[in-house]
């Protein structure tokens, strides 16, 4: 180990920014708030870059110890950071995309009355996310894990005067708690059996254990519990329901937290624990099945959504499913690769959607858009690139990572591959549907007059204007940078370069070796298929939404009930409400509130108070105000004392 | 020589008279005089004990000579000061309330 990398600077910088903006921002000007917000996030990115440049000169994994935190018997958890290839990738993605979205937010949030609060939360989010990524033990990771949940809650409910935003924030928080419960139990199991939460210590003890082929064992249990946690954070079946609602937050938040970084924390955590998962085939299968199902399920919902952000939300859920599918088939590096490219193009898509919403005066319904191509050419161009990227059209970023995942899935089991390809087709279809509905055809939006929007200035993505108009450069800049990354980001995966970079982390994959290798001919065929479905989606979307716009309605009608079910998101929210929420609310009302709280706690306290009052009321009469009765009591008392002393004698 | 017990019994009777008067009388002046009676009952026991201990040679056991008598003077001084203040209060009460019946002086009663 050469000189210290001072990793602590990376999370502490955004924390300082959050503190300054949080405590002083209310009184500062918008310019000052922007400068502070941008400086501290930018500085974190710069330091992360500097770390990346010195990366080859340090021995890996590099660990940095700062302070003892918990020491209890042989168990210890410290404030220390851990840097290897995996955390470096995450570090750069989080700080880089985060910094770009900070820049974008300056333009997007400029008119918001709580401008300083937004930047305070955004910086706070970066702090916790970097903590999560850099932690060297599960407990410190859990701090970051909960912290990003908090930041997410605060930012979803950023416009908390809006009822739907406030309840969406609560929903996200509560659903995440369910996942965290599983995560915590998993951690307890780890502590009980390995006596540590430190990554290196736990994994060193896990490595000698054999693969649990015979059946479910300890590692399977830990793996599944960790996966429950990942399901919550990364919005997988059955805990995905919070993510679409999270779109109530400001669009830059959707881009940063609910697309590019936070929701990928689950993937990161599973990849980080790959040593455990590789030895628990059943847990891995669970991961793969959940990922595959989520990918398909969410993609189908995405087809019918008309809210531009909801489409992207379901698309995010679906792409996260892809990443879990990759992890589940043991291709952790492919999952992380897709995580990175997804951060680029999905961040770009959300920012582009924000730019579109900005252009049409706060409208999010795609049916009221259309023909925006000529009004906002830069947004169109960048979003077009992102759409091509996510659809898997070569040579853009999404193609490389998705192809990698599909190849690995095929090696493991062709069913995963088949569902993956179907999902890829649906993905391509709904993304081009979004693009065509928004940018092609005629503009269906209303001309918002300059006064009409004043009442809605607060609590809406509202910047009401007349004609749709292009966003300022401070918003377009990040779009262009992300577009460049979406264009070129995939090339790090050329000749498996990315995989080799991550080899030291995931190397010696146990299960990966188990999968049959495929010939290069098969590889080419698979690649051809995934390109073909990408273009097929484009063509179908073009036919349905550009050349024959009356067709979608007919298709919808012919599908009948199935279409209704998809349109209503398979009624999952309603089922959850019936199955879990209502019994809980009813139980809480009748048993806990009316029964325990009212009958037991309130009543016992009230009767105690009543009793005290009753007794006091009787005793009160002794205080008559009659001087002579007092004197009489004193005399009687003195007589009693004297009698006692005479009877017992004076103690000597 | 009169035995000590005689003085103490008389002292007790005086004190009991004072207490009884304090409890049963309604007139403030009488109550006041009852207090004086109690004080003087105590005074009598002070001097009786003082004389008694002196007679049996208590000085040899650390008794300070004449301390009992000195205490009586203190009590008298305090009683005199108390009478001055007390009588002033009684006059003030009489002027405002036009009565000296304690049962009717009950403004501070809840």
3-state secondary structure of A623: coil
% chain A with pLDDT above 90? 53
**Distance between B64 CA and the closest CA of chain A, angstroms:** 22
Higher-scoring residue by pLDDT: A190, A361: A190
Instruction: Report the gap between the CA of A629 and the closest CA in chain B (Å).
Output: 8
What pLDDT does A652 receive?
Answer: 55
Vertex A63, ends A62 and A64: CA angle to 5°?
Answer: 130
- CA neighbours closer than 13 Å in the CB half-sphere of residue A578: 4
| A625 and chain B in contact, CB less than 8 A | yes
Out of A116-130, A188-202, A554-568, pick the least confident. A554-568
Chain A interface includes B106 (CB < 8 A): yes
Cβ within 8 Å, pair A626-B103: yes
Encoding tokens for residue A141? Answer: 């990771």
Q: Does the structure show a pLDDT above 60 at A511?
A: no
Distance CA A33, CA A289 (A): 45
Find all residues with CB under 8 Å of A200, minimum gap 6, and list them: A61, A63, A82, A136
Nearest to A631 among B22, B103, B110 (CB): B22
Contact A628 B102 (CB under 8 A): yes
What is the rounded CA–CA span in Å between residue A287 and residue A226? 10
Contacts of A101 (CB under 8 A, 6+ apart): A122, A252, A255, A256, A260, A347, A351, A478
Residue A460 is classified by DSSP as S
pLDDT in tens, A329-388: 988 999 999 999 999 999 999 999 999 998 888 888 888 888 888 889 999 999 999 999
Q: State whether B109 and A625 contact (CB < 8 Å).
A: yes
Per-state percent for chain A, helix, strand, coil, to nearest 5: 75, 5, 20
With CA atoms as reference, the chain B residue closest to A632 would be B23
For position B109, what pLDDT does the model report? 62
Instruction: Work out the pLDDT band at A435, boundaries 50, 70, 90.
Output: very high
At residue A651, the pLDDT reads 64
**Lowest mean pLDDT: which of A53-57, A379-383, A623-627?**
A623-627
Between A42 and B106, the higher pLDDT residue: A42
Contact of B102 with chain A, judged by CB distance below 8 Å, is answered with: yes
Residues A250 and A243: their CA atoms lie apart, in Å, by 13
Task: Return the pLDDT at A515.
Answer: 47
Q: Between A18 and A621, where is the model more confident?
A: A18
Average pLDDT over residues A99-128: 93
Q: Which chain B residues have a beta carbon less than 8 Å from that of A628?
A: 22-24, 102
Report d(CA A24, CA A19) in Å as an integer: 8
pLDDT of residue A462: 43
pLDDT at A148: 94
ipTM over 0.90? The verdict is no
Does residue A509 register a pLDDT over 80? no
The band of B60, judged by pLDDT with boundaries at 50, 70 and 90, is confident
Q: Give the closest of B19, B23, B110 to A625, CB-based.
A: B110
CB B32 within 8 A of CB B90: yes
User: At residue A522, what are phi and psi to the nearest 5 degrees?
Assistant: -60, -40
- A interface test, pick of B12, B16, B22, B35 with most A CB neighbours within 10 Å: B22
Contact yes or no for B106 and A635 at CB 8 A: no
Which pLDDT value is given to residue B1?
Answer: 76
Instruction: Select the residue of B24, B102, B110 nearest A627 (Cβ to Cβ).
Output: B102
Gap from A613 CA to chain B (nearest CA, Å): 17
The pair of three-digit structure tokens given for residue A605, joined into one six-digit string = 């306290």
If you measure CA to CA, which chain B residue comes closest to A636?
B19
Give the mean pLDDT of chain B.
89
Look at residue A454 and tell me whether its pLDDT is greater than 60: no
Mutation target to probe the B interface, by most B beta carbons within 10 A, among A622, A628, A642 is A628
A635 with B108: Cβ contact below 8 A = no
Least confident among A3-17, A124-138, A462-476:
A462-476
- C-beta atoms of A625 and B103 within 8 A: no
Size of interface A-B (CB pairs under 8 A): 18
Chain B residues near residue A624 by CB distance under 8 angstroms: 109
Cβ–Cβ of B23/A625 closer than 8 Å?
no
Mutate to test the interface with B, among A620, A625, A642 (most CBs of B within 10 A): A625
How close is the nearest chain B Cα to the Cα of A615, in Å? Answer: 18
pLDDT score for A461: 44
What is the pLDDT averaged over residues A457-477? 66
Q: What is the pLDDT of residues A210-226, one digit of tens each?
A: 887 777 788 999 999 99
Residue A514 has pLDDT above 50, yes or no: no
Pairing of strands A62-72, A75-83: antiparallel
- Judging contacts by C-beta atoms under 8 Å, the chain B residues touching residue A626 are 103
Q: Search chain A and give the residue with CA nearest B106.
A: A625
The CA distance from A87 to A82, in Å, is 8
Least confident of A93-97, A108-112, A291-295: A108-112
Q: Is A626 on the interface with B (CB under 8 A)?
A: yes
Residue A291 C-alpha from the chain's centroid: 16
Tokens 């739907």 belong to residue: A164
DSSP A560: T
Least confident range from A198-212, A300-314, A598-612: namely A198-212
CA angle A566, A572, A574 (to 5 degrees): 110
Share of chain B above pLDDT 70, in %: 97
Name the residue with tokens 């070569």: A394
Closest C-alpha among A380, A387, A483, A378 to residue A439: A380
- The whole-angstrom distance between residue A618's C-alpha and the CA centroid of its chain comes to 63
Q: Does B23 touch chain A (CB under 8 A)?
A: yes
- What's the pLDDT band for A232 if we cut at 50, 70, 90? very high
pTM of the model: 0.78
Per-residue pLDDT, averaged over A32-59, amounts to: 91
Q: Of A146, A134, A140, which Cα lies nearest the Cα of A95?
A: A134
- Helix/strand/coil percentages in chain B, nearest 5: 80, 0, 20
> B108 touching A, CB under 8 A?
yes
User: Distances in Å between the alpha carbon of A269 and those of A87, A113, A274, A383?
Assistant: 11, 37, 9, 30
Shortest Cα distance, chain B CAs vs residue A644, angstroms: 18
Inform me whether the C-beta atom of residue A627 falls under 8 Å from chain B C-beta atoms. yes
> What is the pLDDT averaged over residues A593-621?
91
Nearest Cα to Cα of residue A214 among A281, A270, A259: A281
Cα separation, A189 vs A23, in Å, equals 40
């Amino acid at each position: 180990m050469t000189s210290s990398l001072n990793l602590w600077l990376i999370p502490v910088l955004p924390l300082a920014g959050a503190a300054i903006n949080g405590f002083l921002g209310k009184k500062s000007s918008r310019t000052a708030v922007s400068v502070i917000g941008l400086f501290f996030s930018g500085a974190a990115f710069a330091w992360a870059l500097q770390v990346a440049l010195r990366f080859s000169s340090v021995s890996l994994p590099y660990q940095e110890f700062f302070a003892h935190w918990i020491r209890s018997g042989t168990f210890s958890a410290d404030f220390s950071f851990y840097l290897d290839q995996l955390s470096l990738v995450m570090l750069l993605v989080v700080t880089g995309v985060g910094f770009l979205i900070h820049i974008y937010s300056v333009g997007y949030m400029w008119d918001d009355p709580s401008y300083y609060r937004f930047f305070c939360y955004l910086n706070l989010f970066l702090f916790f996310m970097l903590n999560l990524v850099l932690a060297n033990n599960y407990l410190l990771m859990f701090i970051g894990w909960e912290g990003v949940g908090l930041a997410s809650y605060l930012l979803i409910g950023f416009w908390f005067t809006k009822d739907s935003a406030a309840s969406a924030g609560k929903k996200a928080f509560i659903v995440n708690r369910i996942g965290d419960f599983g995560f915590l139990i998993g951690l307890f199991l780890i502590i009980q059996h390995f006596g540590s939460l430190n990554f290196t210590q736990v994994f060193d003890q896990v490595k000698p254990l054999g693969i649990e082929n015979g059946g479910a064992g300890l590692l399977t249990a830990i793996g599944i519990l960790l996966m429950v946690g990942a399901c919550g954070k990364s919005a997988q079946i059955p805990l995905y329901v919070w993510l679409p609602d999270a779109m109530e937050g400001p669009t830059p938040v959707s881009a940063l937290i609910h697309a590019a970084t936070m929701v990928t924390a689950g993937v990161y955590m599973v990849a980080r624990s790959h040593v455990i998962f590789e030895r628990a085939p059943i847990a891995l299968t669970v991961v793969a099945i959940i990922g595959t199902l989520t990918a398909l399920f969410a993609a189908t919902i995405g087809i019918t959504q008309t809210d531009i952000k909801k489409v992207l939300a379901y698309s995010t859920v679906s792409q996260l499913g892809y990443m879990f599918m990759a992890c589940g088939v043991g291709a952790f590096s492919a999952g992380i690769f897709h995580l990175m490219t997804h951060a680029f193009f999905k961040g770009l898509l959300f920012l582009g959607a924000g730019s579109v919403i900005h252009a049409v005066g706060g409208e999010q319904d795609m049916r009221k858009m259309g023909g925006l191509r000529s009004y906002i050419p830069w947004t169109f161009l960048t979003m077009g690139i992102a759409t091509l990227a996510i659809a898997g059209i070569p040579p853009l970023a999404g193609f490389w990572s998705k192809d990698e995942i599909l190849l690995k899935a095929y090696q493991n089991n062709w069913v995963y591959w088949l569902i993956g390809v179907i999902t890829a087709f649906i993905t391509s279809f709904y993304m081009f549907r979004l693009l065509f509905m928004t940018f092609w055809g005629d503009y269906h939006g209303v001309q918002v007059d300059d006064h009409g929007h004043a009442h809605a200035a607060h609590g809406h993505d509202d910047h009401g204007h007349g004609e749709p108009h292009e966003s300022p450069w401070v918003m377009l800049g990040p779009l262009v940078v992300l577009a460049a990354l979406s264009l070129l980001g995939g090339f790090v995966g050329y000749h498996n370069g990315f995989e080799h970079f991550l080899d030291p982390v995931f190397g010696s994959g146990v299960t990966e070796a188990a999968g049959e290798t495929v010939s290069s001919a098969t590889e080419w065929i698979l690649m051809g298929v995934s390109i073909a479905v990408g273009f097929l989606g484009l063509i179908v979307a073009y036919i349905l939404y550009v050349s024959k716009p009356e067709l979608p309605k007919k298709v919808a009608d012919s599908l009948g009930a199935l279409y209704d079910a998809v349109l209503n998101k398979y009624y999952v929210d309603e089922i959850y409400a019936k199955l879990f929420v209502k019994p809980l609310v009813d139980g809480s009302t009748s048993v806990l509130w009316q029964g325990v709280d009212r009958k037991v706690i309130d009543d016992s306290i009230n009767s105690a108070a009543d009793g005290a009052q009753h007794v006091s009321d009787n005793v009160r009469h002794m205080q008559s105000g009659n001087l002579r009765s007092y004197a009489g009591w004193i005399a009687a008392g003195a007589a009693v004392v004297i009698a006692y002393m005479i009877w017992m004698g004076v103690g000597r | 020589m009169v035995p000590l017990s005689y003085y103490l019994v008389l002292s007790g009777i005086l004190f009991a008279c004072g207490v009884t008067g304090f409890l049963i009388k309604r007139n403030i002046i009488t109550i006041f005089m009852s207090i004086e009676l109690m004080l003087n009952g105590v005074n009598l026991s002070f001097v009786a004990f003082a004389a008694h201990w002196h007679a049996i040679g208590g000085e040899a056991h650390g008794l300070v000579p004449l301390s009992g008598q000195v205490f009586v003077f203190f009590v008298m001084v305090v009683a005199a000061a108390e009478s001055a203040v007390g009588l002033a209060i009684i006059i003030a009460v009489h002027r405002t309330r036009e009565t000296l019946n304690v049962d009717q002086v009950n403004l501070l009663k809840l």
